[in-house]
């Protein structure tokens, strides 16, 4: 059976449109090969922080600013290694991160984590102060369960878990001509993700400040 000319033209037009959209989507995502040299896509960060006593749910959902948080007698020091794996529409970076830290003061455990960060990099004032904002999801392992984490776990009787969700939003700031050298401000936070992990709700949190170098 011979198809009418207008139908053939319509089919060709649809196929062309689909191929065009696919090509645009492919161009929109810039993938990095993790087996290739870094070429500016790798970073190391060192940081130090103060233990946060304010409930993180109140911080997130009631928008409590840092200067109104309560802080405990404890701190943390650590380092991370990260690699950018993709950029979407030139405004969002996708990164992988591994990290390790040591608590001190009111808690003394060590922490290890792996996470994926989604970072927005296109703020309108970036030509004056290069700024990014990122959110993470991952898993955090603590070498012990502190009395503080037992108290805030939400479990009855109080308990805790070594493995928790790692959700740590951060801002970075840099000079526009030196974007590869950044000041990092992060809320280092682990929790049970509303009871999804071992039934626990909350865990330790720290307000941290650090320095990041991309290479």
Instruction: Encode pLDDT of 101-110 as tens digits.
Output: 999 999 999 9
With a cut of 80, say whether residue 114 has pLDDT above it.
Answer: yes
For the chain, give the percent of residues with pLDDT over 70: 87
What pLDDT score does 157 carry? 63
Structural domain including 20 reads: 1-31
Residues 100 and 119 in one domain: yes
3-state secondary structure of 9: helix
| Count of domains observed in the chain | 2
Pull the structure tokens for residue 13.
Answer: 């037009």
pTM of the model: 0.84
Residues in a beta bridge with 119: 93, 134
Residues 80 and 109 in one domain: yes
Nearest of 186, 35, 62 to residue 119 by alpha carbon: 186
Residues 81 and 147 in one domain: yes
Residues 39 and 21 in one domain: no
- The torsion defined by the Cα of 91, 115, 40 and 211, in degrees rounded to 10, comes to 100
Which range (21-25, 46-50, 174-178) has the least confidence?
21-25
Whole-number average pLDDT of the chain: 87
Q: What is the mean pLDDT of residues 159-163?
A: 85
What pLDDT score does 125 carry? 98
For residue 106, the domain's CATH number is 2.40.160.20
CA 93 – CA 82 distance, rounded (Å) = 12
Residues 19 and 48 in one domain: no
Q: What is the mean pLDDT of residues 107-128?
A: 98
Residues 62 and 111 in one domain: yes
CA 167 – CA 144 distance, rounded (Å) = 19
């Amino acid at each position: 059976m011979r198809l009418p000319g207008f139908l053939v033209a319509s089919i060709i037009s649809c196929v062309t449109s689909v191929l065009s959209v696919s090509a645009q989507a492919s161009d929109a995502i810039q993938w990095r090969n993790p087996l290739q040299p870094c070429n500016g896509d790798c970073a190391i960060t060192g940081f130090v922080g103060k233990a946060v006593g304010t409930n993180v749910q109140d911080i997130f959902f009631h928008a409590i600013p840092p200067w109104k948080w309560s802080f405990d007698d404890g701190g943390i020091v650590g380092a991370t290694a990260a690699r950018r794996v993709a950029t979407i529409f030139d405004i969002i970076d996708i990164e992988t991160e591994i990290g390790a830290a040591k608590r001190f003061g009111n808690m003394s455990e060590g922490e290890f984590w792996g996470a994926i960060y989604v970072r927005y990099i296109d703020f309108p004032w970036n030509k004056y102060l290069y700024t990014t904002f990122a959110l993470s999801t991952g898993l955090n392992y603590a070498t012990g369960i502190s009395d503080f984490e037992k108290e805030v776990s939400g479990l009855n009787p109080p308990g805790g878990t070594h493995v928790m969700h790692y959700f740590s939003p951060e801002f970075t700031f840099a000079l526009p001509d030196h974007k590869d050298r950044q000041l990092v401000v992060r809320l280092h936070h682990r929790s049970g993700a509303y009871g999804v992990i071992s039934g626990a709700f909350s865990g330790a949190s720290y307000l941290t400040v650090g320095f990041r170098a991309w290479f």
